[in-house]
């Protein structure tokens, strides 16, 4: 899946969670100087920012299939090699990186197995491949209450719980199939405080990802129903939304 929305919309929607997740991903690798690293599916650069802070821009490369996200990442992180490309066709030589990371990306890859295999290809022997995906299947991702309300409104709605990587063990299986060893599976957790229901809800109207696309597909009446169903699931403001991601790390 390629995101066509502006970078600011993503920042307001998922960026508030992914920015907190980025240090945990970098620690899992772990990312330390003087490594050279690749951020696959970088989006506007939540993880890229963390990698630049640790290594400097000259040691970081990033790719994303979305032109708006690539443009934003280039503008935000001068000196980083940011290229437009899908995970399944990385524009780098074999064994080019010490670590290759994919934060909240595998479930959106057209071919997750091919994407992970490419990540392994561009990572040197002894280097690491790391990936994470929200725990949508167990209802512990940041969008769970939204999708619960959506299913109440429409039991046939296709949420994100069936996407690859959203269930325990799936990321580790992908890394194993790509020939990696020393595989470690774990989970990463963050929490975001929202000062009001409106602060939480408004980014869902920006058309970002499957949740945003579903919201945009509803007419005004149904969208209002969805909003009020979501409101019923939230306690009084401010409220905290916890979010868990499945993660896996493997050695090339």
In this structure, the number of other CB atoms found within 10 A of the CB of residue 60 comes to 29
Angstrom distances, CA of residue 72 to CA of 42, 95, 98, 252:
10, 27, 25, 31
User: Would residue 20 count as lying in a domain?
Assistant: yes
What is the residue whose two structure tokens read 């990540």? 119
User: Would residue 86 count as lying in a domain?
Assistant: yes
Mean pLDDT of the chain, nearest integer: 96
Whole-number pLDDT of residue 98: 98
Rounded mean pLDDT, 94-117: 97
User: Would residue 144 count as lying in a domain?
Assistant: no
User: Would residue 201 count as lying in a domain?
Assistant: no
Residue 235 banded pLDDT, cuts 50, 70, 90: confident
Q: What is the pLDDT of residues 152-192, one digit of tens each?
A: 999 999 999 989 999 999 999 999 999 999 999 999 999 99
User: Which residues make Cβ contacts (< 8 Å) with residue 28, sequence separation at least 6?
Assistant: 130, 132, 186, 188, 247, 249
What residues make up the domain containing 102? 7-139+160-192+242-251
Q: Rounded CA gap, 249 and 100, in Å?
A: 10
**CATH assignment of the domain containing 181:** 3.40.50.150
The structural domain count of the chain equals 1
In what helix (H) or strand (E) does residue 172 lie, and over which residues does it extend? helix 170-177
């Amino acid at each position: 899946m390629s995101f066509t929305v502006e970078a600011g919309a993503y920042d307001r929607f998922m960026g508030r969670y992914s920015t907190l997740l980025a240090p945990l991903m970098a620690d899992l690798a772990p990312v330390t100087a003087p490594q050279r690293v690749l951020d696959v599916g970088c989006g506007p650069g939540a993880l890229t920012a963390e990698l630049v802070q640790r290594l400097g821009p000259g040691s970081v490369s990033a790719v994303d299939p979305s032109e708006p996200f690539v443009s934003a990442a280039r503008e935000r992180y001068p000196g980083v090699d940011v290229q437009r490309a899908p995970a399944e066709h990385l524009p780098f030589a074999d064994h080019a990186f010490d670590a290759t990371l994919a934060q909240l990306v595998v479930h959106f890859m057209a071919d997750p197995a091919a994407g992970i295999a490419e990540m392994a290809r561009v990572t040197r022997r002894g280097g690491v491949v790391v990936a994470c995906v929200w725990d949508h299947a167990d209802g512990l991702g940041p969008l769970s209450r939204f999708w619960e309300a959506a299913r109440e409104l429409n039991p046939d709605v296709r949420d994100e719980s069936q996407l690859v990587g959203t269930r325990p063990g799936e990321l580790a299986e992908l890394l194993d199939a790509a020939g990696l060893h020393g595989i470690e599976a774990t989970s990463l957790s963050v929490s975001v405080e929202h000062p009001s229901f409106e602060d939480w809800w408004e980014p869902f109207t920006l058309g970002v990802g499957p949740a945003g696309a579903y919201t945009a597909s509803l007419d005004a009446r149904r969208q209002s129903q969805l909003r009020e169903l979501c409101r019923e699931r939230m306690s009084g403001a401010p409220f905290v939304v916890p979010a868990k991601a499945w993660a896996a790390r493997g050695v090339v």
